[in-house]
Amino acid sequence: MSSISAVDVIAIKRDGGVLSDEMINWVLDAYQRRVVADEQMSALLMAVFVNGMTSTELATWTDSMIASGERLDLSMLSRPTVDKHSTGGVGDKVSLVLAALVAACGAAVPQLSGRGLGYTGGTLDKLESIPGWRASLSNEEILAQLEAVGAVICAAGAGLAPVDAKLYALRDVTATVESIPLIASSIMSKKIAEGTGGLVLDVKVGRGAFIRDVERARELAHTMVRLGQAHGVATVAKLTPMDEPLGLAVGNALEVAESVEVLRGAGPDDVRALTLELATIMMELAGLDADPATKLADGSAYEVYQRMILAQGGDPDAELPRARVNESVRSPRAGFIRRVDAHVVGVAAWRLGAGRARKEDPVSPSAGVLCRVVAGDAIERGQPLFDLHADDEAHLVAGRDAIAGAVEIGDEPIGAATNNLGLVRG
């Protein structure tokens, strides 16, 4: 019987002390076994939120989360493995294009993804708008698809870092989500457990991102890169601005359609540019000498995407769901678009039905916002700014109210914004 108690662990961290490896391993294991109660773990999470963790504490905490479940073994694959994780942003549909593109370049991409919560969309929600597509695969199905197709986007199995699911649910209701060590251990425990050899982290920062401050985003990036490298995963992080939506489409089926446009050689420039930048880094980590731009231009990536969707029961050529009610929001004046606020657009898409307030809530596959302008555009009075899509009038009204103030219009044109916040390699 352990001599460690939950009260002692809480008190040490509450007072700014350092938890021993034994204490961390015991408390996470005991919580998973329901020996430690939710209210006790809530207190510990708040103590971590306030006082942080040392690098040693964080390493042990992450190790313990990984050890709480199984680890995928990808060593039998004939391709090098590399993955990408985004911290989430408005209109971020890059995974849908990137997985297929990197597979077309010769890597195996095990994209174990999640669902959206609040105004940032989830990759699985987007793909589930494709008729027949399924998110849940067995480990055997994941391995077979990676070998045959080169890419899989699916739900992370319950066996990977299972204590994280319990901790995340608790963080969500205790205002401790934004703790950098808790974010880093949550993301990296699952990514390390999935067994990939390389990992690119796309850390969003700005109005439409989870983290709005560049320095906090950089701290998170460094923390996650160090965790990955310490576990033998070649890890690089890119900081990406998220003050404006990525691309023009925000919403599940709308984003799938835009992703297909990019895969077929068209689509918004910013989505294509970010995808190619991330793909190039992934090629480096996988040790492959391939040109992602060529694979995008010659249709190879689109072919892999079709095979990936088919392998998971979906019909890549099926018509996507369409909203029952639609409305355009028009400009009240002429001028130049100075800003399209990603946060406001994301909230509007959520209110239209594209997002969820709780994990168990359903989402509308067809709801969302289609942006008709970007920063720098000249605009005339009455010209469409946004197209709103919803399943009913009540959601349309909620979205219309939420989109107010999303665009700032000025009298003079603005200069081009930079998208380069740099890479973090250690």
Do the beta carbons of residue 223 and residue 184 sit within 8 Å? yes
Q: Which of 84, 115, 126, 190 is catalytic?
A: 190
Known catalytic residue at 190: yes
Q: Which of 68, 95, 186, 364 is catalytic?
A: 186
Known catalytic residue at 115: no
Do the beta carbons of residue 111 and residue 153 sit within 8 Å? yes
The length of the chain, given as a count of residues: 426
Known catalytic residue at 238: no
Q: Which of 84, 93, 126, 171 is catalytic?
A: 171
Known catalytic residue at 395: no
The three-state DSSP-derived secondary structure of the chain is: CCCCCHHHHHHHHHCCCCCCHHHHHHHHHHHHCCCCCHHHHHHHHHHHHHHCCCHHHHHHHHHHHHHCCCCCCCCCCCCCEEEEEECCCCCCCHHHHHHHHHHHCCCEEEEEECCCECCECCHHHHHCCCCCCCCCCCHHHHHHHHHHCCEEEEECCCCCCHHHHHHHHHHHHCCCCCCHHHHHHHHHHHHHHCCCCEEEEEEEECCCCCCCCHHHHHHHHHHHHHHHHHCCCEEEEEEEECCCCCCCEECHHHHHHHHHHHHCCCCCHHHHHHHHHHHHHHHHHHCCCCCHHHHHHCCHHHHHHHHHHHHCCCCCCCCCCCCCEEEEEECCCCEEEEEECHHHHHHHHHHHHHCCCCCCCCCCCCCEEEECCCCCCEECCCCEEEEEEECCHHHHHHHHHHHCCCEEEECCCCCCCCCCCCEECC
Known catalytic residue at 171: yes
Task: Give Cβ neighbours of residue 420 (< 8 Å, ≥ 6 apart).
Answer: none
Q: Which of 164, 202, 243, 341 is catalytic?
A: 164
Q: Which of 63, 83, 84, 85 is catalytic?
A: 85
Query: Hey, which residues are catalytic here?
Result: 85, 164, 171, 186, 190
